Amino acid sequence: MALALALGRRVQGQCWPNPAVGCVIVREGRIVGRAATAPGGRPHAEPQALAQAGAAARGATVYVSLEPCAHHGRTPPCTDALIAAGVARVVAPVMDRDPRVSGKGFDRLRAAGIEVITGICAEEATRDLGGFLRREAGGLPHLTLKLAMSLDGRIATASGESRWITGPGARRAVHAMRARHDAVMVGAGTARADDPMLTARGMGVARQPARVVVSRRLDLPLMSQLAQTARDVPLWLCHGPDPDPALAEAWDGIGARRFACGLSGRQLDMAGVLRDLGEAGLTRIFCEGGGGLAASLLSAGLVDELVVFSAGLAIGAEGLPGLGALGLETLAEARRFRLEEVRAVDGDAMSRWIKG
Ligand code: AOF
Ligand code: ZN
């Protein structure tokens, strides 16, 4: 099951709107098939692993990181393929939440006389597939927030210089993280200041993450790299309910996809933004700031995972803080995250924190 989960993790970011599932088939102690959901979400993991196993699937045990599907979508149900192959046992940690599957996959397997074991590595599977499972249950996709800062939490000097606070190792690690998410998200200020591409470069990915810019007024430069590449890599713009019609038309014309989102006070309602993005198919979103967007996500409790790169230099109080105001009065109001991992990345420190 650990291997099945690892295979699934390897294709995170490649499968949306479908989940990234891994499957391992074992016969008499030997692995006879292993696969993960294909880029774009089809074929599913199980039929690919079954094809590798061939006749060896008969009587075998199948480890799959999610309940096998029971519905006729664009491909026939994986449960039917497993039954036809004559497998003896299916081990899957968690139930699918897609209403077309949700328990029916396990039921069909059992009805065909296949032993079904659930619950093994359930916590890990729930974390890996969390964005998908939650979205299917009417919730929000998984959101990872990345902050790359000086030792004292600054992301630029007073004059606006921000390249490069962290080193090349951290940048490579960020590209690898982008590749494992369905979309990369930034605020309009960051898009204007950095003119980023937001692609996962040097990772050999089959599918680039969608690029999402959150801009209440849709006031982004049409000459930016994001705009210029909107036909090659999806560019999605989340804006308020009342965009300038000429601007909206211009962005439509260059191939961007727009989402008119509701407001909460004078700002975009970020829970609503994430819900719209989930409905558009995203299961995992990687937010790279800036400070204003990061603060609104944090204070709304929408951050599931926090990745912090700290560089070995201090910028001082004149520098630009990595996070905007959170409006806290007491420590008790602060959201706590649980430390998951600390690692040295070249000369920088990377820490990963999970929502408490
Ligand atoms: C599996 N194995 O590898 C994946 C599954 O649109 P379709 O027909 O491809 O079905 C998508 C649904 O299939 C998706 O919502 C989820 O319930 C399931 N994904 N199931 O047995 C897989 N990726
Ligand atoms: Zn399936």
Maximal C-alpha separation, the chain: 69
pLDDT greater than 90 at residue 201 = no
Distance CA 36, CA 49 (A): 8
Note whether 146 and 174 are within 8 A (CB).
Answer: yes
Mean pLDDT of the chain, nearest integer: 96
pLDDT at 112: 98
Residue with tokens 């597939």: 129
pLDDT greater than 90 at residue 278 = yes
**Of residues 350, 287, 275, 354, the one with CA closest to residue 323:** 287
List pLDDT tens digits, range 283-332. Answer: 999 999 899 999 999 999 999 999 999 999 999 999 999 999 999 999 99
Distance CA 115, CA 278 (A): 34
Task: Extract the runs of DSSP E, i.e. beta strands, from 129-262.
Answer: 142-149, 154-156, 183-187, 210-214, 235-239, 257-260
pLDDT at 200: 92
What is the mean pLDDT of the segment spanning 6-25?
98
Note whether 146 and 287 are within 8 A (CB).
Answer: yes
Residue with tokens 């558009």: 280
Which residues are near ligand 2, the ion (C-beta closer than 5 Å)? 44, 69, 78
Q: How far is the CA of 213 from the centre of ligand 1 (A)?
A: 28
- Cβ–Cβ contacts within 10 Å for residue 223, how many? 8
What is the mean pLDDT of the segment spanning 189-193?
93
pLDDT at 206: 87
Give the helix/strand (H/E) hosting 26: strand 22-27
What is the mean pLDDT of the segment spanning 173-198?
95
pLDDT at 202: 83
- Cβ–Cβ contacts within 10 Å for residue 238, how many? 24
Helices (DSSP H) in the chain: which residue ranges?
2-10, 45-53, 78-85, 104-111, 122-128, 130-136, 168-179, 188-194, 225-228, 245-253, 270-279, 291-299
Q: How far is the CA of 212 from the centre of ligand 2 (A)?
A: 29
pLDDT greater than 90 at residue 204 = no
Q: Please indicate whether residue 123 is annotated as part of the active site.
A: no
Give the domain ranges of the chain: 2-133, 140-355
Nearest CA to ligand 1 atom 18: 69
List pLDDT tens digits, range 115-146. Answer: 999 999 999 999 999 999 999 999 999 999 99
pLDDT at 324: 94
Give the helix/strand (H/E) hosting 350: strand 348-355
The minimum-distance atom of ligand 1 relative to the CA of 75 is 8
Is-above-0.95 flag for pTM?
A: yes
Pairing of strands 183-187, 284-287: parallel
Please, what is the end-to-end C-alpha distance for the chain in angstroms? 26
Superfamily for domain range 140-355: Dihydrofolate Reductase, subunit A (3.40.430.10)
Looking at the chain, the whole-number percentage of residues with pLDDT higher than 90 is 94
Q: What is the dihedral of CA 213, 218, 220, 223, to 10 degrees?
A: 100
> Sorting pLDDT into bands at 50, 70 and 90, what band is 34?
very high
Q: How far is the CA of 44 from the centre of ligand 2 (A)?
A: 5
CATH 3.40.50.720: does it fit domain 2-133? Answer: no
Whether a cis peptide bond, with omega within 30° of 0, leads into 290 is yes
List pLDDT tens digits, range 68-110. Answer: 999 998 889 999 999 999 999 999 999 999 999 999 999 999 9
pLDDT at 162: 86
